[in-house]
Amino acid sequence: MSIPTLERRPTHKAGPLLRSEISRITHRRLFRVLALILLGGVIVVSVIVFFTHSSEVRESVETLTKRQAKAEQFWQACVTQLPQLNQDVPADVCGTEPADQSLGTFARVDDRYKGFDALPIAVIGVGIAAAGVAFLIGASSGGAEWSSRSMTMQLLFEPRRLRLLAVKWVGLVISLGALAAVALVLALSLGAVTASARGTWEREFAPVPQLENSFGSELALMCGRALILVVIAATIGYAIAMLVRNTGASLGVAFVYFVVIENVVRFALMRYGTEPFMLSDNAVAYLFPGGLPVPGKREAGELSFQSAMVQLTNLRSFITLLVYTALLSIPAAWSFTRRDVA
């Protein structure tokens, strides 16, 4: 009696494994608790904002325009007198030209909810909050598999480690991306209701020209970048958990970085212009339309704390975030394929 030989290696479809991974993540208690906190927080904050704003216009656009014109007159007078002053006076002593500022800058008693100003802020706030939730769930999801020793059992069904790791990452990204998308849609919907009932949709209150010129497309791009930031945060959290193989240790690494390392580097090495390389600064600059200016390198021997400003564009921040993600993900993947899982 001869033993039959296999003509080809049996294959396992990734679909059932992916569905199982998504189900495992979404049915975890931590995921449901954090999802409830995120969505509940969006609702609570939106309700508070709704009732703290008034539909009454205490200051009309005409009043703000007159106030802006008056400020423009003072600015022009300052610029005219500037050549007559000492040459040591900096050229920007008069400040930014009022004509280039939005009308919202000159508001004093306007309790209206300004849609063009508040909705982008809502996207940034929800995006940062969702990224924090994604990091926690990613770190917990990776660490729990090692502490419960379920990773060994999963390798019995799918021994190809890189394939298993890719499926688990895709399941994590889909679960957290869907949660972040729901939170963003909820925040924007409630914000739109507040702006329509207790606010204004005037373009003059947009904080940057990009939002004033094309509000809908820029807001959609901000939401897209927020979802990408959630993916990056989940990947970093999961990668750290795969490296240290412990949830508490991965959360400790994040705490030490954001609370200790960033602040120490920011103040101790201020003169070397480390601010553009901070993870938190790049995360916020990536979401804001057009990026944000941050302090750069100081000149040697300069006594003041004034530094040349460096513009963190969306592309530059995205590349910086990708570099941080790669520096953690590549060693994590290599460690998973090489180290013993027992």
Q: What does each of the 342 residues of the chain score in pLDDT, given as a tens digit?
A: 455 554 555 556 777 788 888 888 898 899 999 999 999 999 999 999 998 887 765 666 777 788 888 888 887 877 777 665 555 545 556 777 777 776 666 766 667 788 888 999 999 999 999 999 999 999 888 877 777 777 777 777 777 888 888 888 999 999 999 999 999 999 999 999 999 888 888 887 788 888 888 888 999 999 999 999 999 999 999 999 888 888 788 888 888 888 888 888 888 777 777 888 889 899 999 999 988 888 877 765 544 556 677 888 999 999 999 999 999 999 988 888 887 766
In a domain, 275, yes or no: yes
> Taking the model in full, what pTM does it have?
0.80
Core vs surface per residue 120-131: b (16+ CB within 10 A) or e: bebbbbbbbbbb
Whole-number pLDDT of residue 236: 93
Distance, in Å, from the CA atom of 168 to the CA atom of 142, rounded to the nearest integer, reads: 9
Whether residues 98 and 176 fall in one domain: no
- CA 140 vs. chain centroid, Å, equals 20
Whether residues 185 and 79 fall in one domain: no
**Nearest residue to 234 (alpha-carbon basis) of 191, 305, 171, 292:** 171
The 3-state DSSP class for residue 11 equals coil
Tell which of 110, 127, 153 closes a domain.
110
In a domain, 154, yes or no: yes
Whole-number pLDDT of residue 252: 87
Whether residues 231 and 290 fall in one domain: yes
Count of structural domains, the chain: 2
Whether residues 97 and 164 fall in one domain: no
Whole-number pLDDT of residue 198: 86
In a domain, 176, yes or no: yes
In a domain, 3, yes or no: no
In the block, tokens 């990734």 appear at 14
114: which strand partners? Answer: 200
Distance, in Å, from the CA atom of 230 to the CA atom of 173, rounded to the nearest integer, reads: 8
- Give the burial class of 323: count Cβ atoms within 10 A of its Cβ; 0-12 exposed, 13-18 middle, 19 or more buried: exposed
H helix runs in the chain, sequence order: 14-26, 29-52, 61-81, 115-147, 150-157, 161-198, 209-213, 215-244, 247-255, 262-268, 279-287, 314-338
Whether residues 100 and 82 fall in one domain: yes
Tell which of 95, 110, 125 closes a domain.
110
Tell which of 110, 131, 153 closes a domain.
110
Core vs surface per residue 132-170: b (16+ CB within 10 A) or e: bbbbbbbbbbbbbbbeeeebeebeeeeeebeebbebbbe
Whether residues 69 and 203 fall in one domain: no
Whether residues 94 and 35 fall in one domain: no
**Nearest residue to 131 (alpha-carbon basis) of 15, 234, 57:** 234
Q: Which domain range does residue 173 map to?
A: 14-56+111-338
Distance, in Å, from the CA atom of 91 to the CA atom of 82, rounded to the nearest integer, reads: 8
In a domain, 7, yes or no: no
- Give the burial class of 298: count Cβ atoms within 10 A of its Cβ; 0-12 exposed, 13-18 middle, 19 or more buried: middle
In a domain, 137, yes or no: yes
Distance, in Å, from the CA atom of 95 to the CA atom of 92, rounded to the nearest integer, reads: 5
Q: Parallel, antiparallel, or unpaired for β 199-200 and 292-295?
A: unpaired
Whether residues 94 and 130 fall in one domain: no
Whether residues 193 and 331 fall in one domain: yes
Whether residues 327 and 255 fall in one domain: yes
Distance, in Å, from the CA atom of 304 to the CA atom of 100, rounded to the nearest integer, reads: 28
Q: In 10 A of CB 3, how many CB atoms?
A: 4
In a domain, 5, yes or no: no
Whether residues 101 and 191 fall in one domain: no
Give the 3-state DSSP-derived string for 159-197, with helices as H, strands as E and coil as C: CCHHHHHHHHHHHHHHHHHHHHHHHHHHHHHHHHHHHHH
Whether residues 146 and 70 fall in one domain: no
In a domain, 6, yes or no: no
